[in-house]
């Protein structure tokens, strides 16, 4: 009877260990998938906000070089819209991204105070100086998104 009891206990223990292993594997997999989903949503949210900022800042920067802010309500609306996106970015971005967004907004405000240029002058100046007011912002955003991507759990 001792051998039968030992065999029975071994079978029960094997079933328990196998069940626990399966449960643990499922729990770890679900946790990993959930974390990956959260990070992917975070990346998507940031990409949308950063793209929105870049698009609005590009338009407002060109307008700031060729117009005065008091020339047209559209100029003021553009700045308000850009400032709103910059404020939305402050809710979740790292300090470096926020700093670069603020630098872009400040540069645009300063540009409104400078003398107006024609579209041709703006293009010529951009080509000659290779001055991209959004380059630093774009680079730091790319770095931040890459860092978040590296946090993603590996999918087996």
- What digits encode the pLDDT tens for the residues 49-87? 999 999 999 999 888 877 766 656 777 788 899 999 999
DSSP secondary structure letters along 8-32: HHHHHHHHHHHHHHHHHHHHHHHHH
In this prediction, the residues of the chain whose per-residue pLDDT falls under 50 are none
> How high is the pLDDT of residue 151?
85
Residue 56 structure tokens: 């609005």
> How high is the pLDDT of residue 155?
58
Which spans in 67-133 are helix H?
A: 73-90, 95-113, 119-129
């Amino acid at each position: 009877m001792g051998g039968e009891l030992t065999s029975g206990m071994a079978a029960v223990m094997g079933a328990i260990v196998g069940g626990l292993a399966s449960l643990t594997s499922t729990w770890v997999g679900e946790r990993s998938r959930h974390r990956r989903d959260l990070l992917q949503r975070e990346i998507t949210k940031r990409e949308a906000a950063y793209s929105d900022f870049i698009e609005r800042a590009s338009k407002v920067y060109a307008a700031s070089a060729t117009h005065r802010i008091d020339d047209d309500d559209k100029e003021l609306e553009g700045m308000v819209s850009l400032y709103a996106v910059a404020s939305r970015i402050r809710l979740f971005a790292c300090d470096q991204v926020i700093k670069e967004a603020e630098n872009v907004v400040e540069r645009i405000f300063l540009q409104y105070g400078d003398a107006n240029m024609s579209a041709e002058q703006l293009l010529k100046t951009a080509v000659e100086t290779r001055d991209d007011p959004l380059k630093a912002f774009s680079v730091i955003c790319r770095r931040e998104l890459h860092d978040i991507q590296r946090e993603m759990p590996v999918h087996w």
